[in-house]
Structure 1
Amino acid sequence: MRSRNLPRQWVKCSTLMCASILAVPVNAKLLDDSSARLELRNYYFNRDYREGTAPPREEWAQGFLLHLDSGFTEGRIGVGADAIGMLGIKLDSAPGRSGTGLLKVARNGRAEDDYWKLALAGKLKASKTQFKFGALVPPTLPTLKPNDGRLFPQVFEGGLLTSNEIDDLELTAGRLSRVMQRNATEYTPLTLSPLNRRFQGQGATAEHFDMAGIDYRFHKQWLARVHVAQLEDIYRQQVFTLVGKSPWGPGTFSGDLRLSLMNDYGDAKGGKIDNRALQGLLGYAYKGHSLGLTYQRMLGDTGYANILGADANLINLSILGDFANAKERSWALRYGYDFASLGLPGLSLNSRYISGSHAEITGTRTIGKSWELDNELRYVVQQGPLKNLSVRLRSALYRSNYAKNFIRDTDDTRLMFNYSWNIK
């Protein structure tokens, strides 16, 4: 975020945070436990709409992310700070092809040559409990999945508490107040996603997003989760999850079962929200091969709701669709292969086919049907000066009988080079 545009509250928060840290004598632990990491993301994006007159979205950009994480000062309550500096540079774009989410777009529709932003956060630690405040990139939670699918992650402003005082039990609680989207440099209000015009109050904004959860690892590889959240005066959500894996025969069995309950509450600024999402995944892995079958069903009068810019944390969330319209049913077949079994460590392939049906689409009497095919080939350099360099080629095809007025039939291709260097 450019310093001349820093909101007063952010400047005040950052100033107080820095002052509190500087007021504490620097000690060895604060510095010795600190880390610095430079991450490079080179991203080519092409999205071709297969119907209508909309031109393809095609851009190429380079991103630099500098992660600085301090340790904690000594004492009963340790104090520290984290920072992420982000710089995005345009490598290729043109009027009419912008809007991929890689680059910041000016009012004239042209992608800017470069943009940068700074995310600062303070943190406190007592025993095994940590509180982080300021600019946050929260971990994926059952009620919130921040989007990190372009050059930079989605950044929220707020506070997040995590506690691991009891073995195998983690408590999470937090409040978020604003969001900076992936290709933006300013914070904006938390907004209800308008995807497929699912709700009458699309575009409704909220002052806060509150969340809390309990994760209990009752077995070495199995986790039970209960999480709740509410987007103020828009919706309330409860999510119950059971996920894990176990040896079974010569291979490994995996499972992921989820139930999401969601309804409007308070002033219901987003209109009626009534959704129950049943989701399940069963998988098996053997000698480099992995096979998975998923099922997802939307019950209730409306589709699934989430915050604009964030991903819907659903089993069948895919590259282009979420298969979460009212009454929609979807299943998916997943296949993955690790070529290490053939003597090619670092090379992997993942494919997924998803089919959706019975969807009730707002504004049309059409009973929605859709499908999507996703493929990703990935290679991670295993040794040498470029060790851990990741190369990913991803493609997605999406087709539906209602896409003309909503998510259009789309071909999507992406090529990504990621490299991370630990400076300290």
Structure 2
Amino acid sequence: MRVMKWSMIALAVSAGTTQFAMASSQDEAKGFIEDSTLTSKTRMLYMNRDYRNGAGNIAKEGGGFKSGYREDWGLSELLNYESGFTQGTVGVGVDAFAMGTVRLDGGAGRQGNGLFATRGNGDPEDTQSKIGGAVKFRISDTVLKYGNQFVASPVFSTDDSRLLPEVATGTLLTSKEIKGLELSAGRFTSLSSQTGMGRDSINGPGEPGLTAANIAGATYQFTDNFVGGVAASDVDDYFKKQYVNLNYTLPIAESQALNFDFNGYRTSSQGKELAGDVDNKIWSLAAAYSLGAHKFTLAYQRSTGDSGYYYGVDGGGSIFLANSVQYSDFNGKDERSWQGRYDLNMASYGVPGLSFMARYVNGDNISTSEGEGKEHEFNFESKYVMQEGPAKDLSFRLRSSVYRTTSNYGVDTNDVRVIVEYPLNIL
């Protein structure tokens, strides 16, 4: 996403005109137990990837592969406990989680969608589990947390697209002392994958993993409708990365609004260059028009530099771009891509909780060893969330992707996912 030096002067000037909060979060602390929460999230995920035109994971005589597919089905449970903070000038608390998966289907010949780890004999694991925790301290509206945690920074973001989320280990400082301004800084020294139960398993056995990632960021709410943010990271022996976001909403009428969202990155390799020679600038601009139950979105994304955009060792979610969709991220070398999207919220038609989405993305100008590569992807999604009763918030979601590409850039794929999720507040 792009080359840029980020200056904090504008943010500091704007923040200086705001007022400090009259009472801090720590002043209102009720206690370690009194402010505790315990939640659970049960997720069932069925995932099928059908590889077309000779691709796949089934070998054929004479070399190559037959048309094949990967099919997995599993169940996961995530328990998450967050204590309150003790009272006093310095509040102390702890966060803890326990999570695990059970394989319902998907043998060695069909697995490979990232739902389960693989044993030495090639079979997927039947069950997996992981526990972790972090200690936290709060002074006023500033929180310091150390230990295992889920992170959502544009330059270091743990992924939760399968059964279990990635987990990072390190220190994160978050400050909201000035109204409208949020500052963050952190250092993370390990990252476990969604199927890796070990402390540092993001790149698999025998491969270099995360050594250390230093991150910093700032987000400022300029007005009720305008938000801006910057972030930067330094991942040892991999790369340095900078990010910027501008988001503006223009109200038009009671049921109409126009939103503009700009995201951009610049990435440059460093040190041992464990990710290769990375030199990339990539940005996206999306414009969304909302009209009652309907939303229409157009987006453009552009990648330049000597390589495509790289992420993963800094978290599988570290790609805050408009055209990062269900299957492809449209982040190839020199790639340019357009998106058209339509969303429908059926609440306006008497069916609250039901929604639909259709999206088409087309990318071209990709630099490959065989010349220009092209790709396109069509997505369809439907979701229903229970609105009341004992199963309130239980959701059913169907995601479908048809992906096609040219040259040697990728593999034609049909991707279908069925996701059932039930979040529950226990405390």
Normalising to structure 2: TM-score of the pair? 0.86
Q: Which residues in structure 2 correspond to 1:229-268 (within 5 Å)?
A: 229-249=233-253, 250-268=255-273
Question: 1:114 matched to which residue of 2?
Answer: 127
Q: State whether residues 275 and 298 of structure 1, in contact with CA within 8 Å, keep that contact through their aligned partners in structure 2.
A: yes
Question: 1:209 matched to which residue of 2?
Answer: 213
Q: Aligned residues: percent identity?
A: 35
Letter of the structure 2 residue corresponding to residue 422 of structure 1: N
Aligned-pair distance for 1:205?
4.3
Select 2:36's aligned residue among 26, 34, 37.
34
Tell me, yes or no, if structure 1 residue 180 matches structure 2 residue 187. no
Inter-partner Cα distance in structure 2 for 1:418 and 1:35? 19
Inter-partner Cα distance in structure 1 for 2:131 and 2:225? 37
Question: 1:330 matched to which residue of 2?
Answer: 337
Question: 1:74 matched to which residue of 2?
Answer: 87
1:271-322: CA deviations, max 9, x gaps?
3221111210011101100001000001111111112461322221011111
Question: Which is further off, 369-378 or 108-117?
Answer: 108-117
Select 2:390's aligned residue among 350, 361, 385.
385
Aligned residues: 383
Where 1:178 maps in the other structure, the secondary structure is strand
Question: 1:24 matched to which residue of 2?
Answer: none
Which consecutive aligned stretches of 4+ in structure 1 deviate over 6 angstroms post-superposition?
none
Letter of the structure 1 residue corresponding to residue 421 of structure 2: N
Question: 1:43 matched to which residue of 2?
Answer: 45
Query: Compared with structure 1, are the counterparts of its residues 325 and 204 closer, same or farther at alpha carbon in structure 2 (3 Å cutoff)?
Result: farther
Q: State whether residues 98 and 109 of structure 1, in contact with CA within 8 Å, keep that contact through their aligned partners in structure 2.
A: no
Q: State whether residues 284 and 321 of structure 2, in contact with CA within 8 Å, keep that contact through their aligned partners in structure 1.
A: yes
Question: 2:401 matched to which residue of 1?
Answer: 396
Question: 1:345 matched to which residue of 2?
Answer: 352
Q: Which residues in structure 2 correspond to 1:116-155 (within 5 Å)?
A: 116-139=129-152, 141-155=153-167
Tell me, yes or no, if structure 1 residue 288 matches structure 2 residue 288. no
Inter-partner Cα distance in structure 1 for 2:201 and 2:193? 11
Q: State whether residues 289 and 337 of structure 1, in contact with CA within 8 Å, keep that contact through their aligned partners in structure 2.
A: yes
Q: State whether residues 280 and 315 of structure 1, in contact with CA within 8 Å, keep that contact through their aligned partners in structure 2.
A: yes
Q: State whether residues 115 and 163 of structure 2, in contact with CA within 8 Å, keep that contact through their aligned partners in structure 1.
A: yes
Query: Compared with structure 1, are the counterparts of its residues 225 and 410 closer, same or farther at alpha carbon in structure 2 (3 Å cutoff)?
Result: same
Select 2:69's aligned residue among 44, 56, 60.
56
Inter-partner Cα distance in structure 1 for 2:395 and 2:418? 11
Aligned-pair distance for 1:122?
1.1
Aligned-pair distance for 1:267?
4.0
Question: Which is further off, 112-121 or 97-106?
Answer: 97-106
Tell me, yes or no, if structure 1 residue 407 matches structure 2 residue 413. no
Letter of the structure 2 residue corresponding to residue 147 of structure 1: D
1:43-87: CA deviations, max 9, x gaps?
111111113242311111111111111011112111111111102
Q: State whether residues 230 and 243 of structure 2, in contact with CA within 8 Å, keep that contact through their aligned partners in structure 1.
A: yes
Aligned-pair distance for 1:121?
1.1
Aligned-pair distance for 1:206?
4.3
Where 1:165 maps in the other structure, the secondary structure is coil
Tell me, yes or no, if structure 1 residue 97 matches structure 2 residue 110. yes
Question: 1:167 matched to which residue of 2?
Answer: 179
Inter-partner Cα distance in structure 2 for 1:51 and 1:124? 55
Q: State whether residues 206 and 233 of structure 1, in contact with CA within 8 Å, keep that contact through their aligned partners in structure 2.
A: no
Select 1:310's aligned residue among 297, 316, 325.
316
Question: 1:357 matched to which residue of 2?
Answer: 364
Inter-partner Cα distance in structure 1 for 2:202 and 2:386? 39
Letter of the structure 2 residue corresponding to residue 310 of structure 1: G
Aligned-pair distance for 1:258?
2.0
Letter of the structure 1 residue corresponding to residue 200 of structure 2: T
Query: Compared with structure 1, are the counterparts of its residues 254 and 93 closer, same or farther at alpha carbon in structure 2 (3 Å cutoff)?
Result: same
Aligned-pair distance for 1:237?
1.2
Inter-partner Cα distance in structure 2 for 1:265 and 1:104? 31
Query: Compared with structure 1, are the counterparts of its residues 218 and 28 closer, same or farther at alpha carbon in structure 2 (3 Å cutoff)?
Result: closer
Question: 1:366 matched to which residue of 2?
Answer: 371
Letter of the structure 1 residue corresponding to residue 39 of structure 2: R
Q: Which runs of 5+ in 2 are unaligned?
A: 1-28, 58-67
1:125-155: CA deviations, max 9, x gaps?
111001111111102x221332101111111
Q: State whether residues 190 and 208 of structure 1, in contact with CA within 8 Å, keep that contact through their aligned partners in structure 2.
A: no
Q: State whether residues 177 and 190 of structure 1, in contact with CA within 8 Å, keep that contact through their aligned partners in structure 2.
A: no
